[in-house]
Every structure is written in C-alpha cells, then in structure tokens.
Amino acid sequence: MDGMKPRGSGRVHPAWVMLGATSFVLLAASGIRSGFGVFIKPMETEFGWDRTALSLVASLSFLCNGLAAPVVGRLADRWGPRAVFAVSGVILGAGALGAALIVTLWQLYATVGIMLAVGAGGASTGVAAVVAARWFEQRQGLAMGLTGGALAAGQLVIVPLAMWLTVSWGWRVAFAALGAGYLVLVLPIVLTLIRNDPADMGLLPYGAEPRAGGPATASAALERTTLRDALGTAPFWLLAGSFWVCGYTSTGLILTHLIPHATEHGFHGGQAAQALGLMGAFNIVGTILSGWICDRYGQKVPLACYYALRGVSLLFLPFVGTMTGLLAWAVVFGLNYISTVPGTTALTAKIYGRHSVGELSGWIFFSHQLGSAVGSLAGGYLYDRLGNYTLAFQSAAFVAFAATLMVLAIRERPVSSRPPALAVAPAAGG
C-alpha cells in the first residue's frame, strides 16, 4: 500500500492512544448513566414522587440506551467514531445539566430517561468495536477487553463520585457537576485525540503489514455486510441469541436481584453491597483477560466456556450461605460478567467485516438489553410466585448452557454482501 506506514513514527502506535481515549470516553459515559440510583431517594424526599414513577425513568433509560446502540453503530460505520462520540457527548452533557434544573416528572423523563440515555448510547460497545476493528489488525480482542473494562470501571468510579457530590452539595449540584465535567473534560479529548481511521494519519492498523492491491477504501468496501444480508445468516442470530442470554443472566437477573436475594439469606445490606462491588472489580479483570485469551486462542471456544461457567455458578448461587462463599461466588461470576463482549464483538468483525461491526454489534447489543429487561422481570415474577429466587437462578443456568451450544454452532466463515473479486487468469507461460 503506497504511502502507508505499518507503524507510527514513534515507538508507540497511535492505535493505543486511540484506545486509551476511547476507554476514557466510555468510562465517563457509562458511569454517569449508571448513577441514577443515587438520586432516587433525594428526589423522593423533595418531590414526593413514588418509587414506581422513578423506576419507570430507569426503565425508559434502559430502553433508549439499547435502541440507540444500532443507530450509533451504523453512524460510526459510515462517519467514523469521532463524530459519534462528539455529538452524543453534547447530548449526554446537556441531559445531565438539564436534569439539575427539573421541577416536574416529565422533565426527568426527558432529560435522564431519554437525553442522557441516548447520549451514553453513543459511547457504547458498538462504537468501541468500530475503533478496535479499524485500528487493530492484531490484538482486537485485547482492545475490546480494555474498552469493556472501562465500561465496568465507570460504575466503580463515577457512582461513588455522584454519591459524594449528592451528600455534600445536593443532587442538583451533582447532576450539574457531572454534566459540566463531561463537556469540559471529555469532549476536548474526543476532538483532539480521536481519529476515524489510521489511513487519516497515513498509517496502517496496529499489526498490519503493507499489501499490494490498491487503497484501503477498496478493502473496506469488501469488508461490509448490510443488516439485511446479516439477518439472512445463522451466525447473526446465534450471536444475538447468546448475547440475549448474557443480558438475561447478568444485568437483568443478577444486577437487579442479587442484593435482595442475599439480604433474604442472612446477609446484611453492607455485605451484599460488598459482594456486588467485588463482582464489579473482577468484572474489569475478567473482561481484559478475556480479550487476551480471545486473541491467543480464538473467540468461539473461550466464549462457549464463559457461558458454561456462568451456568454452573448460577446453579450454586441459591445454596451459598456464608460470607466467604458469597465473596468467592462474586469473584467467579465477576470474571465472566461481561467477558463475553470481546469474543462476541471479535466474532462479529471476523464474520461480517470490520466496516459493518458498528451497526451489527449495535443490534446484537440491543438483543442484550432486551434480555436484561426480560431477566429483571422474570426474576421478580418468579419471586412473587414462589417466595424465593431459586427457580429464577436455576432456570437462568440452563439458559446459559443453551448459549454455550449456540456459540459452538457458529460457523466462523466470513460473510460479505459485496460480490467477490473476479479471479485474474494467469498470464500465458506463467
């Protein structure tokens, strides 16, 4: 590739700078979106709104965040991640600032339920997948593991900050500080460090070697699969179905119901929160480690193992009765909580092409969010009917085992909606 350099002019490839900037954006956005629970009690006290009304704000946010994922993924495929990060960042910051000024419930729905959720959706796994696919020929799994770790770290960093701001100065100041901080600190990083493609800097992706055969745009055209064509293939439905199970068994069931389950089994609230925090910390470790494993050993078998391990851990959860056991369970489950992200995203890029990964990963992530919604509802329904979570956790285990089989059934052969290039006949006597 004439004029294209395999490495940056310095010792560190700019792909790692891009990855660091992207991870910071994801950390901040996911943390701000995850902090709404901090504001529920202060708002109940000030406005007298009931828990159901405020819970519906969270549900609306969940839905809007999921619906935004395929849209921003498609835009990132077409326009690049820089514009998506910038526009969504303005929406997120404006939503948080607007939330600081609300006086009626509908304003809370508009700012937190819609604006903040959509803005955070622009800093999502799908857009991060575009960055990883375009900037990394090698180490794509590690790149997605690091961005997944950043999403998890956002909750551990920003939520305590939001709590401290609320306790010290009130919930309005907390919302205003988070919104202003995002606009002042994160947007400049997007505008100065984020680039759409290594070709914009005259570079090849990390780990790529120069190849003859024309400019990068020609290669990009051959690496694009439309949503319509993807919907006609089995791997897309297997990836979406298994990621639905990921949402059902993690965010939907465990994140919603672990603390109520623990407090009803002899643990006090502080112990349950400690287990949840430990699970979040090992979530970061597991996601980064998963990326390394997927780079080294491939994606399909590790991904299947993650779902199998999750299923086994869910079978044991109803019988955990000691603090040591609860913490050990939190470590195991935390290690595979979102370790499925690097493998799922890398398989999507491998099968459908790196210039389709944003949109298709967005739709797969939307399936994850639907699974989360169903898992949360199913856990509550089964508890109301039976008085405990045993059947909820055990049925989720068997769903996880089904996801193991889905992943193993995936064929990794690349798919493209573009016609293959015509073979060139060898020259006479060649």
In degrees and rounded to multiples of 5, residue 206 shows phi and psi of -60, 125
pLDDT computed for residue 8 by the predictor = 45
Measured distance CA(145)–CA(185) in Å, rounded: 24
Write down the H helix ranges in 170-299.
171-181, 187-193, 216-222, 227-231, 234-247, 254-263, 269-297
pLDDT computed for residue 211 by the predictor = 61
Cβ burial, residue 298 (10 Å; 0-12/13-18/19+):
middle
pLDDT computed for residue 423 by the predictor = 38
What would the DSSP string read from start to end of 401-416?
HHHHHHHHT-------
- Residues paired with residue 5 on neighbouring β-strands, in sequence order: 203
pLDDT computed for residue 223 by the predictor = 59
Q: Where do the domains of the chain lie, and which CATH numbers do they carry?
A: 14-219 (1.20.1250.20), 223-408 (1.20.1250.20)
Tokens 């970061």 belong to: 284
Q: What is the mean pLDDT of each run of 10 residues along the chain (430 residues)?
A: 49 85 91 79 84 74 84 84 92 95 94 92 83 82 81 79 87 95 93 85 77 47 74 94 93 79 80 79 86 87 95 94 92 89 87 81 86 82 86 94 96 66 37
pLDDT computed for residue 139 by the predictor = 82
Does this model's pTM top 0.85? My answer is no
